[in-house]
Amino acid sequence: MGAQQASDAVVHARLGEYEHAFRFVAMASPCEVHLDGCGARDARAAADRAIAEVRRIEAKYSRYRDDSIVSRINAAAGRGEPIAVDSETAQLFDFAAQLYRQSDGLFDITSGVLRRVWNFREARLPTDGELAEICAQIGWAKAHWDGRAIYLPSVGMEIDFGGFGKEYAADRAAAIAEACGAKHGFVNLGGDLRAIGPRADGSAWSIGIQHPRRKAETVAQIELSRGALATSGDYERFIEIDGKRYCHILNPGTGMPVSHWQSVSVLAPVCVAAGALATIAMLKEAEALAVLEGEAAAYLAIRADGERFARDAAQM
């Protein structure tokens, strides 16, 4: 999608003489590029370029598009046909491999196939047989990745960059806006946020973290000038059966949802790091705090019983 098309999708709200918000929808999420300290023309030019970058990444890596590189790789699964990729995609695969190792196999980009047995629009649990069959299709260690081309050995096996796609797009959009001259603002893609710089007057942006049980409320407010914030939680997609919540964050080994945390929010220099660590913490369940402390991360973790645990960032 070109820059002009991206501009057409933006709702522009002028908030002050030099403060501008550009809102749009991408990756099935409400998104925003917010810029301060520049005129309307410069702000719009930078936002258009940033939004075009988000659209480019969405088109290139969406599993919903037949022409995306992800769909091409998945369509070739089991056919003995390695698919060569460009340097950008290679870096994302290397990042996925790193996350797989660091999470002891819990962060696995081949686990998206679990959606075939989990439908979070109806209150039904998959059977043990269904879980066993689909889990046999999961395993990044089974994929043949040599740094230049990838081959999935089994028909039905898939890769999916959804675990860090929005965060990557937020980082890239912020970098594009900054390259266009923006010095003050942030990019927010469905709650995955990357700050470009503080407000024009030097003050930090005040960012609210959504309450995982009360949608209209925030659970914490943090001050952010640079860096990134990302949250992983059990409230985005879930079903409840007999009073128990089953969320969309799934353990690739068992196929079952995690249940130890309501949400984990992480601050990091870049959004892909914040998002990956938040997701790994959710997947690590009872071991999450040890992982977060081991990374010396600033975080807010809310356990299933509502108890909060925080570190740094004014204890969130």
Contacts of 2 (CB under 8 A, 6+ apart): 52
Q: How far is CA 167 from CA 159, 177, 273, in A?
A: 17, 15, 8
- pLDDT tens by residue, 34-63: 999 999 999 999 999 999 999 999 999 999
Q: Which amino acid is at 239?
A: I
| Number of neighbouring beta carbons within 10 Å of residue 133 | 15
Looking at the chain, the whole-number percentage of residues with pLDDT higher than 70 is 93
Integer angstrom CA distances of residue 125 from 136, 242, 251, 262, 300: 18, 11, 15, 20, 30
pLDDT, tens only, 174-186: 999 999 999 999 9
Q: Where do the structural domains in the chain lie, given as residue ranges?
A: 3-59+164-315, 69-159
- What is the residue-averaged pLDDT of the chain? 92
For 108-126, what is the mean pLDDT? 96
Q: Which pTM does this prediction carry?
A: 0.92
pLDDT at 293: 96
Worst-scoring range by mean pLDDT, 13-27, 170-184, 193-207?
13-27
Q: For the domain bounded by 69-159, which CATH number is listed?
A: 1.10.3980.10
CATH homologous superfamily, domain 3-59+164-315: ApbE-like domains (3.10.520.10)
Q: What is the pLDDT of residue 313?
A: 60
pLDDT at 194: 98
Which residue did the predictor score with more confidence, 174 or 17? 174
* The two domains 3-59+164-315 and 69-159 share their CATH topology (first three levels equal): no
Given a cut of 60, whether residue 5 has pLDDT beyond it is no
pLDDT at 198: 96
